[in-house]
Amino acid sequence: MSKLEVAHNKPWEQARFGLYGRVSTPEQKDALEAQMSDLRTRVLAKNGVIVAELSDVGTGRRSKQRRGYQQLYQLIEKREIDYLLTRDLSRLSRDLSNLDQTWRFCHQNGVVIFDTQVGVVNELYCWALGLVAKLMPSIGAEQVRTSLAVKARKGLHLGRPPLGYECVEVAGEKGHLKVVDEDAKIVKRIFARALAGWSLRGQARALNFEDGVKSPRGSRWSSEAVRYILSNPVYRSTILWGRTKTYFHAISEAFQREDRPEAEWIRSLGSHEPLATEADFDSVQAILAGNKSGTTNKKRGPAVFLSSLIKCPKCGRPDEHGHVHGGSMSVVGGDGRRLRMRCINANAGKCDNNRTFYRDHILQAVLQGLIDHLRSPEALTMFIEAQNTASKRRLEEIGTSRRKTEKRIKTLDTEIKRLTDHIAKGLSATALGDGIKLRETETRELIARLEDIENSSVTFELKPPSLAEYADMAERMMANVSTNSKDPGDVELSEHLEALVKHVYVHPLVENGKKTFEVEVFGKLATLVTGSLSYRAQHCKGKSGKDILTQDTITVARAAQKLVMALPRKRGSGRKPPRKQVLRRLEPDLARILSRSAVPLTASGIVSKLAEEGIQRTVTAVHNALDRRPETFVRIRKNGFMLRSRWARQSVRYFTRTAEIVAMAREVLEESRKPMQPDEIIGRFHEEPRSRRIYGDDELAILRTVLSKHADDFEAKGRQHARWILRASSDFEPSTALAA
Ligand SMILES: [Zn+2]
């Protein structure tokens, strides 16, 4: 201890000590206690004074996060200690610059750092120890990495188990993955949906709101979390390790991650059960790679012709406007160049239309039907007739407009002349001058309008493409469908045609034992070429040929007029017809609907109520609107919503009523001893002599909720929870039967 006396004027006996210890994990608490007691004995043996015993548990990456260390700094600053005693310098910090800073700080405040391994710490020691401390963890990490790599090569999983698995120990070896059925279901569902063409965001939304499952981190799903699942090769039984390396960055005092070159990755075949087949996993990767190229619609380039409009006729539900909701057909994979489509509900097992169709076959059938109709002589005649009628009417309109404008200009001219005469006769020039100016302005405007009219009639006489030209375009497009071309010249045409299509049904057919199908095209396009709401075309190399052109001329005239209007004014501009934007705010509607209901409504419940009022909204839109206004709407449990004001008033009553209803339902069911329907139970409530009624019109809804929520008390019997029985008595019956 001679060094100590030399380094400090104060003798050891009277000195004031600050003790500091640190361990990196809470499991090492015993070690920390050992550290501290060792320091304590050393000081007390020499009759020193312990001012403070400070310690931290943690990796100590950031000195700011270490409370003990902070307190120590304060003690040093106030000069309340003479010695800072620690087992070794790395307890203070592993970082060189940090250690140097601490040493300087102590030095300035007359505090000596004493390391029990080396003694008094001078500046040189501080540097040397700091360097060692800096080198040590990296050596340690390298050792750890080697041992982990050995494990990874054996096909053992390292670290936290991925969703769907748990890590178990087999024959003393940790890291064997075992399937957890419930989680595995989620993983499988995510893969199935990805194959069905769901977007990452759509998946996250469905997991959060419809399935109500938590993400592997125990919070909400994000699209990134879904992507992580889909791209984790562990699900096809590959153990992949060493994609990144983590190191400690001294300047930012934080761990940082860096990608390793692919050659250094360790791949091995795991012994665990895969949750996705290799083929599925690979096609999901292909889909993900496709998504990556652009995150927004704009970047994604031209949309595939009709891709969102192809619907399943079995489960698509048309609304009163003829728009089909649900039952979309989506890409379910393909063989490299060609893609196959299937009903998304069939993928989820909710629709029995299990057939898959090649997408190019569908498009060919649609286009072939279009071409056949366009090329038919009847269509040509009808189109010319309608075209003539429309042209005539338009020319008449222009004529009327021109006549009116010319007449007005003449009147204005006369008026100006008259006013000028008045000025000449000596009347107030300022007052009349204004009148003349106004009239002159109007005249100029009218002359400009007249020019516009002339021009527009010129534009109009530029002929819209004839039916034959249309048919040519459709044929060109069909050629592109077969060759998968993305010629930008056709984007305009495809957008133009698409704007005329509401949806396309694909009807599966079996003819002479051969599987085929028929498309049914709805929308203006169909009206245009056939005059009826839809046209059908069969997929086959032959003709679709059936004569569907049976309609009255009025429809066709209107249809042709629509065609004239629908044509882009300037060809080649490539602009999409503007989508009708609905800017109506939903909140008042939601508040109205929720204010009527005494029980919380789910978003889909609200959607159906909105639909009754003629407001079409998606569940997502409603969800968003409700979640955006937490001050107005309150979310109850997972999926129920209520007006916040109403809920505050009702919550107490709601809960007392719930308790009351449980008790009453219990009594009734105990008495009855056989399953009862909720309405029957309500009926008994009303028979009660004390007239213990449940008030309100929603009593049945509340009772149903109560019955299904109190699974410990009540048990559902029969189909779809139609009838209920007291759980105690249903348990009771079989055992008495057994006893008998
Ligand atoms: Zn379907």
pLDDT in tens, 640-649: 888 887 776 6
- Is residue 106 over pLDDT 80? yes
Ligand 1 midpoint to CA 341 (Å): 11
Spell out the residues 6+ positions from residue 47 whose beta carbon is closer than 8 angstroms to its own: 12, 13
Better-predicted residue by pLDDT, 248 or 476: 476
CB 266 within 8 A of CB 242: yes
Rounded average pLDDT over 720-731: 67
- Tokens describing residue 58: 């943690």
Ligand 1 midpoint to CA 200 (Å): 22
- Is residue 482 over pLDDT 80? no
Rounded average pLDDT over 535-556: 44
- Is residue 461 over pLDDT 50? no
Look at residues 364, 619, 392 and name the one whose alpha carbon lies nearest to residue 483: 364
Q: What is the pLDDT of residue 734?
A: 43
Ligand 1 midpoint to CA 314 (Å): 5
CB atoms within 5 A of ion ligand 1 belong to 312, 314-315, 327, 343, 345, 351, 353
User: Cα–Cα distances in Å, from 729 out to 665, 676, 683, 713?
Assistant: 13, 13, 21, 10
Ligand 1 midpoint to CA 342 (Å): 8
The band of 100, judged by pLDDT with boundaries at 50, 70 and 90, is confident
Q: What is the pLDDT of residue 654?
A: 59
> What percent of the chain stands above pLDDT 90?
1
Residue 513 φ/ψ, nearest 5 degrees: 75, 0
- Is residue 104 over pLDDT 80? yes
Ligand 1 midpoint to CA 357 (Å): 13
Better-predicted residue by pLDDT, 255 or 581: 255
Ligand 1 midpoint to CA 193 (Å): 15
The band of 300, judged by pLDDT with boundaries at 50, 70 and 90, is very low
Rounded average pLDDT over 297-309: 54
Mean pLDDT, the chain, whole residue set: 71
- Is residue 112 over pLDDT 60? yes
- Is residue 489 over pLDDT 60? no
- Is residue 458 over pLDDT 50? no
Contacts 24+ apart (CB under 8 A), 684-693: 688/664, 692/660, 692/664
Ligand 1 midpoint to CA 589 (Å): 31
Look at residues 477, 159, 521, 518 and name the one whose alpha carbon lies nearest to residue 304: 477
Give the C-alpha separation, 121 to 113, whole Å: 6
Question: Of the ranges 280-289, 394-403, 467-476, which one carries the lowest mean pLDDT score?
Answer: 467-476
Ligand 1 midpoint to CA 331 (Å): 14
